[in-house]
Amino acid sequence: VQCTVIIPAAGKGKRMKHDKSKQYIEIDGKPILAYTIDAFEKCDEIQNIILVVGKEEVDYCRKEIVEKYKFQKIIAILEGGKERQDSVYEGIKKVPEDSDIVLIHDGARPFVGAEQIKQTIDNGIRYGACVLGVKVKDTIKVVDDDNNIVDTPNRNNLWAIQTPQTFKKELITLAYQKAQNDNYCATDDSMLVEKYLDIKIKMVEGIYSNIKITTTEDLVIAKNFIHQ
């Protein structure tokens, strides 16, 4: 089984409010994005890595990340688009013909482990589509536009989704093509499969440490994970 991972890392990290995009913030002298790539570089199941970055960062990523850390599996460094979905779509178009499975993993999610990567590949092969997630710890409320509570869904059925989200290549390619044609914008990859394809998507139980670095609090947590 041939597996390609697309790593979207073309965002600006607005919620981090840092002078550079959050994926380039260094922890112990190493950019967050390099930790993320490391996880896939070390995973034997992965053959190819496609990196999608901002237009201005292509050269920096080639020299200061791919060459500096001697990553061997990077087959393309592409320019991303306006939304995450546009960036991922650029990657989808460059997945090698012989890949069976496509994983999509946030550049800002550096603590994914080989075990979780393997589990999503296994489930992707078996079911065609799966996402990694964890049971929510907090009670979740649905509110209206005036912040009045309208519903409290049963927590047992609520999961916070992570990445990788992992698919058979033909399925995710078709879902993305349809969405881009429709100008339909989703908040995660599996939503496109939910909307356009009539297949079941498996939830794979992940680990709470697989956080997406989003706000400054997450940097404090990230430093601790790296030092433990």
Q: How far apart are CA 82 and CA 67, in angstroms?
A: 27
Tell me the residue number closest to Mg ion, measured at CB: 11
Q: Is 176 exposed, middle or buried (0-12, 13-18, 19+ CB in 10 A)?
A: buried
Cis peptide bond N-terminal to 8, omega within 30 = no
Q: Which of residues 9-48 bind Mg ion (CB under 5 A)?
A: 11
Which of Mg ion, ligand CTP, none sits in contact with 87, Cβ below 5 to 8 A by type? ligand CTP
Q: Look at residues 176, 140, 165 and name the one whose alpha carbon lies nearest to residue 155.
A: 140
Is 37 an interacting residue with respect to ligand CTP (CB under 6 A)? no
Tell me the residue number closest to ligand CTP, measured at CB: 11
Helix or strand (DSSP H, E) at 215:
none
Parallel, antiparallel or unpaired: strands 30-31 and 129-135: unpaired
Q: How far apart are CA 132 and CA 115, in angstroms?
A: 11
Out of 3, 5, 9, 129, name the contact with ligand CTP by CB under 6 A.
9
CB of 24 to Mg ion, least distance (A): 15
Pattern of binders to ligand CTP over 187-226, x per CB under 6 A?
-------------------------x-x------------
Out of 5, 65, 74, 87, name the contact with ligand CTP by CB under 6 A.
87
* CB-nearer residue toward Mg ion: 11 or 128: 11
Out of 11, 31, 110, 124, name the contact with ligand CTP by CB under 6 A.
11
User: Which parts of 101-201 are beta strand (E)?
Assistant: 101-104, 129-135, 142-143, 149-151, 159-168
* CB-nearer residue toward ligand CTP: 10 or 77: 10
β-strand partners of 161: 133
Q: How far apart are CA 137 and CA 59, in angstroms?
A: 41
The count of chain residues that interact with ligand CTP, using the rule CB under 6 A, is 21
| Positions that interact with Mg ion (CB under 5 A) | 11
Residues within the interface to ligand CTP (CB under 6 A): 8-15, 23, 52, 80-84, 87, 106-108, 212, 214
